[in-house]
Amino acid sequence: MSPVNAVVRRELGSYFATPVAYVFLVIFLVLAGILTFYVGDFYERGQADLQPFFVMHPWLYLILVPAITMRMWAEETKGGTLELLLTLPLTLWQAMLGKFLAAWLFIGLALALTFPIWITVNYLGAPDNGVILAGYLGSWLMAGNFIAIGACLSALTRSQVVAFILTALVCVLLILAGQPQVLDFFQGALPRRLINAVAHLSMLRHFEAISRGVLDLRDLLYFVLSTLGWLVAGVLLLDLKRTR
């Protein structure tokens, strides 16, 4: 697994070699704070938990994850380094996995840096830290899913802007899929079974379940399988590029 390791280190290094990493971290932390305290009514709720914090994460990721993943393959394709990378002794899978893990670890770092909020809530009250841990886990899994989508769509194009927009679009669809407004819209047009299926595709539904502290295997599987699926699709896309 040494090639994966090498790719992870290279990718992480390149995040921090450019301002991308720092800009991301600052924006993520500032937005997470603002959204939690002002939009989420953290104090006014009078409850010692981090629900208002986690509820905002899908929307944060919606903007910030595509910004990280858009360059993943598009930049390599455009800059010609794809040819260098793919003629080194590693498989497409290892390259994809390395890039995915680097981005995922990076988001993990961003999440870890939100620890002051956790300290705050523990200082103010006596929250259930198990639920909070589940919330972090769910958030990280969801971020992984977003990253996999971004990685796949970045392999589709050589334009980073296109990769960003496509990723954000797919992510917003997956977030909203389970919302009552969306489901109501299709109520008359689609059979009930299909609507239920769409509702189950919703990332929000699975994330909310986990972040309430309910670790259901189905929710975990949803994220793991969906992430793997997008990564496989990305590898297939890259492979297709070599034959076209």
Partner 1 sequence: MIETDKLTRCYGNLTAVDALSIRVEPGQVLGLLGPNGAGKSTAMRMIAGFLVPTSGSARVCGYDAMREPLKAKRALGYLPEGAPSYGEMTVREFLQFIVRIRGLRGEAGYRRMDAVVQQLQLDEVLGLGIDTLSKGLRRRVGLAQAILHDPPVLMLDEPTDGLDPNQKHAVRQLIDMMARDRTILISTHLLEEVHALCNRVVIIARGKLLADATPAELEARSRYHGAVSFSAPGSGMSQEMLGRLPQVAGVEIDPLDGRVTVFPKPGERILEPVERLLQEQGLEVSEIQLERGRLDEVFRQITSGEEVGRGVAA
Write the CB contacts of 34 (distance below 8 Å, at least 6 apart in sequence).
none
CB-hemisphere CA count at 13 Å for 69?
40
Our CB check for partner 1 shows the closer of 39 and 240 to be 240
| Residue ranges in 215-244 that form contacts with partner 1 under rule CB under 8 A | 242-243
Confirm or reject binding of residue 19 to partner 1 (CB under 8 A): no
Of 13-21, 139-147, 170-178, 207-215, the window that binds partner 1 (rule: CB under 8 A) is 13-21
- Rounded-to-integer distance, Cα 244 and Cα 231, Å: 20
Structure tokens at 236: 């297939």
* Cβ(96)–Cβ(234) below 8 Å: yes
3 binds partner 1 (CB under 8 A): yes
Tokens, residue 98? 């390395």
192 sits near partner 1 (criterion: CB under 8 A): no
Which residue's CB is nearer to partner 1, number 19 or number 130? 19
9 binds partner 1 per the rule CB under 8 A = yes
Cα separation, 225 vs 182, whole angstroms: 24
What is the residue whose two structure tokens read 């997008």? 230
The C-alpha torsion from 203 through 159 and 16 to 23, rounded to 10°, is -70
Q: Using the rule CB under 8 A, which residue among 26, 41, 81, 128 binds partner 1?
A: 81
Rounded least distance, CB 91 to partner 1, Å: 7
Q: Please tell me whether residue 196 binds partner 1 under the rule CB under 8 A.
A: no
By CB under 8 A, the residues from 82 to 121 that bind partner 1 are 83-84, 86-91
Q: How far apart are the first and last CA of the chain?
A: 29
**Minimum separation from the CB atom of position 143 to partner 1 (A):** 23
The yes or no reply on residue 29 touching partner 1 (CB under 8 A) is no
* Contact stretch for partner 1 (CB under 8 A) within 12-20, 121-129, 130-138, 191-199: 12-20
Please say whether the dihedral angle defined by the alpha carbons of residues 184, 188, 189 and 194, taken in this order, is positive or negative.
positive
* 7 is a contact residue toward partner 1 (CB under 8 A): yes
CA-CA distance, 14 to 160, in Å (whole number)? 16
For the CB of residue 70, give the shortest distance to partner 1 in the complex, in Å.
15
Q: Which residues bind partner 1 (CB under 8 A)?
A: 2-3, 5-7, 9-10, 13-14, 17-18, 79-81, 83-84, 86-91, 242-243
